């Protein structure tokens, strides 16, 4: 079976050859060095032999080199040829140059880095006859170096750049120029426009010698949707893409013709991720065909990740910056005073309001404590409050007093700790609101409410307060009593009033209210009839004011009721009488005259009635107050007396305190007395009196005070003064009040001048005007009380008769004295005038009517 054997043998041989070939190839693949020898004759190279291994490094065999004497030169990458030539010339000159690292183009088209180390050989005379070159493939080392260099450059650029745009300009260039050995000639960065959901080419770079201007310009003008062109593909795939030769592939890419024109073959693109999110693509193009290089791909992916991190960091910085700016903006526009302190009590930040109020800047206050900003006492209180918050770790509210423009303002401060993730406080925030004005308003409001309550309680007028929105009405007790009803007998509703309305007045009354509420009339004053519990109708004058909201819509209306029935009846009588009399023309004039007089008297009486009614209501109030106040005063006074007798040892402070308490009781009692006087004016008992004598007796009553005050009294009393009809006790009160005022105005001593004279009204220029209830020519007696004190501030004069208005220091005056005087003079149908004298001091003029001219 030789054939079989032969077949088997030949098979085995073939197999052996194959094995040997594979082993050789493996061996070749592991060879990275080879040696070439150059024969030199008379300084010129005459032959070159490439040693085994050249195929492994260059792809060409020895025979390839033998067949083509210039192959070695063409193999050298064109840019590096001058350096290689220069090295060779050095050797030929007999020198030994250092090894040269340069690029060659491998037979497979890829670039390789080699190190070429020449070793010259010399003959006996020292002439060069040959040299060997050791060629080592250093491509892997070079690649590794360049990958490192790229990563280093990218890291440095990203670290130094303030924006991605700035960084990218240099990064694209770095990638391309460092990888020039691999010939990336054009680079572009595409960023995602998240709103439009497209990619924009934000930046390109091109090696100077590459004619890709048009490709660059076109790229910059394009926007790419997901999946379109190379960047779009990377976006869609979320992974890098490597295309060894674009021109070898059919393409629908709109940029393809321009790439072709620029001679771009190899391409690669990789994504840039901002955290998880896709942020953009970097693409690289080469004029060479670029077989897939996984190592480089990895490096580029790392670069992509680095850029992504940079984006993430920049965004975080931006967010932080925006957050701070936003927070500061909010704080600065708050009317509250806001600050943040660390746990040591040092300011971290303050808002603009804080800066303005306390005249400090946030830069200067940072790191300082309240002790550097506020007075020590204030700072100690603030620090104490802060510590309470840090101790309890809960938000607390404090009322704090802080000095603003030299005045103390009251603040409500909410303070709360800021806790870290572990619940440990790292700062304290305080938000303070100025409530000084609110406090003042609250106090004023409370006072005015109390005053209102007193007025309603004491008023002889009925009071009503109508909530227009709900139709609920508050009717005062007096309102109801006026119509004969007890408190619980009238519903607090608008309909209660409507039900009491006289049918004939109903339409007019409702229209009147409507006209006022709608703004057609500016005041509300209505005379109408309301049914009394006894069935009769009472004439009521209703006056009121509406409270409106900002839109002018009435929300509330309040006012008073005055009973006009008696006046109305008088008027009706008058009219009836007038009607009767009008029949007799002759009697008419005389009757008219009488009626007029009667009418005037009626009006005067009515005024007095109203006055008396008012005084009566104050009186009721005062009597109540008197009882309620005097009993506690009694207790205090008895207590003081008891203590005075039982605190032996004669401590002068104790004695002083007890005396002060006695004085206080006396003062309180004086107020009560004056209130009573104000009200007691109703017991009016006038008689014909000698005014001069009354003045003298009044002066005697305060003789001791006059002496104590070192006051001289000057009397200019008229000798022919007619007697005046007056209530002796009340006028005595008037004079004493006026004298005491004068004495108090002259605390440093002075002259009290008292003048009386008789006049016809109108003769005295100072006593003209509508305020005086006299007819021209009427006989009057004028009393003037003048002091030499400082006078009264002109602004105070209009209010001088207001109850509780006083210009005296606290504790000296009650503010009731002149109110009492005015009431009493009014009761006498007289007039009073207070003015500053031209040469200083105050002149009080009283004018009383003389009814029958006889001297006392």
Partner 1 sequence: MNNEKKRILVVDDEPSITRLLKLNLEQTGDYEVATENISKAALATAEDFRPDLILLDVMMPDLDGGDLAGKFQASPTTKNVPIVFLTAAITREEVRARGGLVGGLPFLAKPVNLHEVLACLERRLGAPGAPAAANR
- Helix (H, G, I), strand (E, B), or coil: what is residue 575? helix
Cβ 735 vs Cβ 752: under 8 Å: no
Nearer to partner 1, 623 or 779 (CB): 623
Strands 750-760 and 711-716: parallel
Nearer to partner 1, 733 or 753 (CB): 733
Among 346, 352, 362, 662, binds partner 1 (CB under 8 A): 662
Among 170, 362, 673, 835, binds partner 1 (CB under 8 A): 673
Does the footprint of partner 1 cover residue 515 (CB under 8 A)? no
Tokens linked to 700: 């005697």
Nearer to partner 1, 633 or 779 (CB): 633
C-alpha to C-alpha distance for 114 and 142, rounded to whole angstroms: 9
- Helix (H, G, I), strand (E, B), or coil: what is residue 663? helix
- Candidates 14-22, 34-42, 282-290, 629-637 — which segment interacts with partner 1 by CB under 8 A? 629-637
- Cross-strand partners of 136: 33, 115
Nearer to partner 1, 364 or 627 (CB): 627
Does the footprint of partner 1 cover residue 659 (CB under 8 A)? no
Q: How far is the CB of 701 from partner 1 (least distance, A)?
A: 11
Cβ 115 vs Cβ 135: under 8 Å: yes
Does the footprint of partner 1 cover residue 681 (CB under 8 A)? no
Cα–Cα–Cα angle for 694, 677, 621, rounded to 5 degrees? 170
Does the footprint of partner 1 cover residue 729 (CB under 8 A)? yes
Does the footprint of partner 1 cover residue 7 (CB under 8 A)? no
Q: How far is the CB of 413 from partner 1 (least distance, A)?
A: 43
- Candidates 359-367, 579-587, 637-645, 771-779 — which segment interacts with partner 1 by CB under 8 A? 637-645
Among 152, 474, 642, 804, binds partner 1 (CB under 8 A): 642
Does the footprint of partner 1 cover residue 641 (CB under 8 A)? yes
Does the footprint of partner 1 cover residue 655 (CB under 8 A)? no
- Candidates 268-276, 304-312, 605-613, 632-640 — which segment interacts with partner 1 by CB under 8 A? 632-640
Among 630, 757, 759, 835, binds partner 1 (CB under 8 A): 630
C-alpha to C-alpha distance for 722 and 699, rounded to whole angstroms: 20
Q: How far is the CB of 645 from partner 1 (least distance, A)?
A: 6
- Which contiguous run of DSSP H or E holds residue 753? strand 750-760
Q: What one-character-per-residue DSSP string does 518-572 give? A: TTSSS-EEEEEEEE-TTS-EEEEEEEEEEEE-TTS-EEEEEEEEEE-HHHHHHHH
Nearer to partner 1, 666 or 747 (CB): 666
- Cross-strand partners of 782: 757, 847
- If binding means CB under 8 A, how many residues of this protein chain bind partner 1? 24
Nearer to partner 1, 610 or 664 (CB): 664
- Candidates 161-169, 197-205, 226-234, 668-676 — which segment interacts with partner 1 by CB under 8 A? 668-676
Nearer to partner 1, 650 or 809 (CB): 650
Side-chain half-sphere exposure of 55, counting CA atoms within 13 A: 12
Tokens linked to 426: 């790292």
Tokens linked to 336: 């509250």
Among 92, 412, 613, 633, binds partner 1 (CB under 8 A): 633
Spatial CB neighbours of 527, under 8 Å, sequence gap ≥ 6:
539, 540, 541, 542, 564
Does the footprint of partner 1 cover residue 676 (CB under 8 A)? yes
Does the footprint of partner 1 cover residue 200 (CB under 8 A)? no
Does the footprint of partner 1 cover residue 639 (CB under 8 A)? yes
Phi, psi values for residue 824, rounded to 5°: -65, -40
Residue in the block written with tokens 């007056």: 726
Q: How far is the CB of 711 from partner 1 (least distance, A)?
A: 23
Q: How far is the CB of 729 from partner 1 (least distance, A)?
A: 7
Does the footprint of partner 1 cover residue 379 (CB under 8 A)? no
Does the footprint of partner 1 cover residue 631 (CB under 8 A)? yes
Tokens linked to 71: 């192959």
Q: How far is the CB of 445 from partner 1 (least distance, A)?
A: 32
Tokens linked to 216: 């660059």
Does the footprint of partner 1 cover residue 645 (CB under 8 A)? yes
* Number of C-beta neighbours around residue 697 at 10 A: 13
* Number of C-beta neighbours around residue 23 at 10 A: 10
Q: How far is the CB of 637 from partner 1 (least distance, A)?
A: 4
Residue in the block written with tokens 């390789």: 112
Nearer to partner 1, 360 or 676 (CB): 676
Among 637, 699, 702, 792, binds partner 1 (CB under 8 A): 637
* Backbone region of residue 367 per phi and psi (left: phi > 0; alpha: psi in -120 to 50; beta: other values): left
Does the footprint of partner 1 cover residue 647 (CB under 8 A)? no
Tokens linked to 285: 């193009």
Q: How far is the CB of 631 from partner 1 (least distance, A)?
A: 5
Nearer to partner 1, 577 or 623 (CB): 623
Side-chain half-sphere exposure of 812, counting CA atoms within 13 A: 11
Q: How far is the CB of 627 from partner 1 (least distance, A)?
A: 5
Does the footprint of partner 1 cover residue 646 (CB under 8 A)? yes
- Candidates 25-33, 95-103, 356-364, 633-641 — which segment interacts with partner 1 by CB under 8 A? 633-641
Instruction: Write the CA distances from 288 to 57, 209, 715, integer angstroms.
Output: 20, 14, 131
C-alpha to C-alpha distance for 254 and 218, rounded to whole angstroms: 9
Does the footprint of partner 1 cover residue 661 (CB under 8 A)? no
Does the footprint of partner 1 cover residue 634 (CB under 8 A)? yes
Q: How far is the CB of 633 from partner 1 (least distance, A)?
A: 4
The count of residues in the chain is: 856
- Candidates 99-107, 376-384, 397-405, 619-627 — which segment interacts with partner 1 by CB under 8 A? 619-627
Nearer to partner 1, 22 or 631 (CB): 631
Does the footprint of partner 1 cover residue 268 (CB under 8 A)? no
Does the footprint of partner 1 cover residue 203 (CB under 8 A)? no
Among 48, 457, 606, 669, binds partner 1 (CB under 8 A): 669
Does the footprint of partner 1 cover residue 665 (CB under 8 A)? yes
Does the footprint of partner 1 cover residue 731 (CB under 8 A)? no
Does the footprint of partner 1 cover residue 728 (CB under 8 A)? no
C-alpha to C-alpha distance for 541 and 563, rounded to whole angstroms: 6
SS (H, E, C) 286-304: ECCCCCCCHHHHHHHHHHH
C-alpha to C-alpha distance for 133 and 131, rounded to whole angstroms: 7
Side-chain half-sphere exposure of 468, counting CA atoms within 13 A: 17
Instruction: Write the CA distances from 415 to 136, 339, 390, 393, integer angstroms.
Output: 76, 10, 10, 10
Instruction: Write the CA distances from 41 to 37, 87, 125, 270, integer angstroms.
Output: 13, 18, 14, 55
- Candidates 23-31, 191-199, 439-447, 624-632 — which segment interacts with partner 1 by CB under 8 A? 624-632
Select from 115, 158, 149, 148 the least CA-distant residue to 133.
115
Among 75, 114, 513, 626, binds partner 1 (CB under 8 A): 626
Q: How far is the CB of 792 from partner 1 (least distance, A)?
A: 28
Helix 817-827 and helix 652-680, axial crossing angle in degrees, nearest 10: 20
Among 31, 247, 595, 623, binds partner 1 (CB under 8 A): 623
C-alpha to C-alpha distance for 750 and 736, rounded to whole angstroms: 17
Among 392, 599, 635, 656, binds partner 1 (CB under 8 A): 635
Interface residues toward partner 1, by CB under 8 A: 623, 626-627, 629-631, 633-639, 641-642, 645-646, 662, 665, 669, 672-673, 676, 729
């Amino acid at each position: 079976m030789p054939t079989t054997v032969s077949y088997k043998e030949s098979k085995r041989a073939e197999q052996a050859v194959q094995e040997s070939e594979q082993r050789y190839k493996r061996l070749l693949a592991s060879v990275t060095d080879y040696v070439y020898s150059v024969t030199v004759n008379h300084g010129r190279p005459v032959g070159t032999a490439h040693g085994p291994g050249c195929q492994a490094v260059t792809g060409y065999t020895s025979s390839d080199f033998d067949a083509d004497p210039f192959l070695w030169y063409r193999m050298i990458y064109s840019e590096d040829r001058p350096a290689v030539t220069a090295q060779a010339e050095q050797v030929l000159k007999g020198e030994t140059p250092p090894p040269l690292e340069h690029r060659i183009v491998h037979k497979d088209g890829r670039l390789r880095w080699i190190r070429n180390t020449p070793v010259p050989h010399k003959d006996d005379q020292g002439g060069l006859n040959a040299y060997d070159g050791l060629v080592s493939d250093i491509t892997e080392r070079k690649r590794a170096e360049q990958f490192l260099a790229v990563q280093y450059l990218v890291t440095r650029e990203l670290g130094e750049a303030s924006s991605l745009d700035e960084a990218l300009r240099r990064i694209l260039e770095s990638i391309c120029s460092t990888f020039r050995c691999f010939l990336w000639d054009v680079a572009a960065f595409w960023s995602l426009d998240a709103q439009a959901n497209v990619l924009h080419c934000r930046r390109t770079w091109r090696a100077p010698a590459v004619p890709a201007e048009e490709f660059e310009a076109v790229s910059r003008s394009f926007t790419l949707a997901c999946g379109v062109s190379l960047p779009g593909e990377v976006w869609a795939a979320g992974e890098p893409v490597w295309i060894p030769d674009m021109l070898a592939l059919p393409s629908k890419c709109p940029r393809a013709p321009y790439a072709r024109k620029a001679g771009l073959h190899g391409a690669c693109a990789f994504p840039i991720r901002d955290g998880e999110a896709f942020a953009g693509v970097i693409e690289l193009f080469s004029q060479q065909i670029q077989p897939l290089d996984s190592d480089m791909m990895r490096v580029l992916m790392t670069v992509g990740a680095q850029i992504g991190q940079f984006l993430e960091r920049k965004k975080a910085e931006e967010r932080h910056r925006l957050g701070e700016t936003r927070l500061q903006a909010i704080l600065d526009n708050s009317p509250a005073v806001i600050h943040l302190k660390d746990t040591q009590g040092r300011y971290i930040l303050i808002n603009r309001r804080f800066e303005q109020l306390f005249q400090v800047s946030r830069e200067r206050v940072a790191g300082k404590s309240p002790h550097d900003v506020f007075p020590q006492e204030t700072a100690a209180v603030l620090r104490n409050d802060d510590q309470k918050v840090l101790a309890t770790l809960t938000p607390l509210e404090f009322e704090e007093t802080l000095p603003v423009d030299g005045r103390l303002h009251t603040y409500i401060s909410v303070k709360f700790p800021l806790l870290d993730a572990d619940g440990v406080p790292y700062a304290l925030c305080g938000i303070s609101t100025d409530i000084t004005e609110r406090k003042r308003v609250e106090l004023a409001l409370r006072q005015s409410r109390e005053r209102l309550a007193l007025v309603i309680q004491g008023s002889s007028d009925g009071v009503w307060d109508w909530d227009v929105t709900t139709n609920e009405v508050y009717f005062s007790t007096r309102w109801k009593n006026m119509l004969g009803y007890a408190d619980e007998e009238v519903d607090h509703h608008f309909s209660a009033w409507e039900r009491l309305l006289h049918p004939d007045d109903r339409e007019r009354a409702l229209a009147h209210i409507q006209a006022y509420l709608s703004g057609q009339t500016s005041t509300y004053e209505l005379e109408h009839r309301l049914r009394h519990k006894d069935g009769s109708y009472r004439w009521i004058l209703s006056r009121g004011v509406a409270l409106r909201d900002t839109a002018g819509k009435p929300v509330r209306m309040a006012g008073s009721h005055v009973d006009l029935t008696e006046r109305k009846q008088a008027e009706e009588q008058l009219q009836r009488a007038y009607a009767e009399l009008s029949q007799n023309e002759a009697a008419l004039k005389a009757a008219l005259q009488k009626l007029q007089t009667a009418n005037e008297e009626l009006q005067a009486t009515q005024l007095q009635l109203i006055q008396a009614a008012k005084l009566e209501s104050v009186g009721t109030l005062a009597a109540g107050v008197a009882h309620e106040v005097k009993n506690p005063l009694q207790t205090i006074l008895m207590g003081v007396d008891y203590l005075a007798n039982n605190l032996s040892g004669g401590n002068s402070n104790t004695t002083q305190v007890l005396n002060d308490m006695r004085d206080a009781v006396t003062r309180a009692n004086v107020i009560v007395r004056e209130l009573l006087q104000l009200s007691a004016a109703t017991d009016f008992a006038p008689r014909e009196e000698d005014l001069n004598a009354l003045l003298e007796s009044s002066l005697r009553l305060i003789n001791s005070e006059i002496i104590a005050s070192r006051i001289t009294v000057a009397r200019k009393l008229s000798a022919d003064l007619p007697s005046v009809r007056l209530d002796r006790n009340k006028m005595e009160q008037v004079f004493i009040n006026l004298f005491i005022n004068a004495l108090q105005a002259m605390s440093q001593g002075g002259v009290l001048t008292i003048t009386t004279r008789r006049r016809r009204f109108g003769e005295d220029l100072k006593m003209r005007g509508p305020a005086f209830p006299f007819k021209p020519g009427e006989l009057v007696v004028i009393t003037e009380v003048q002091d030499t004190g400082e006078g009264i501030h002109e602004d105070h004069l209009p209010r001088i008769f207001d109850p509780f208005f006083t210009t005296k220091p606290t504790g000296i005056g009650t503010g009731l004295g002149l109110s009492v005087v005015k009431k009493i003079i009014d009761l006498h149908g007289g007039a009073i005038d207070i003015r500053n004298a031209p040469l200083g001091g105050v002149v009080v003029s009283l004018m009383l009517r003389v009814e029958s001219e006889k001297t006392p």
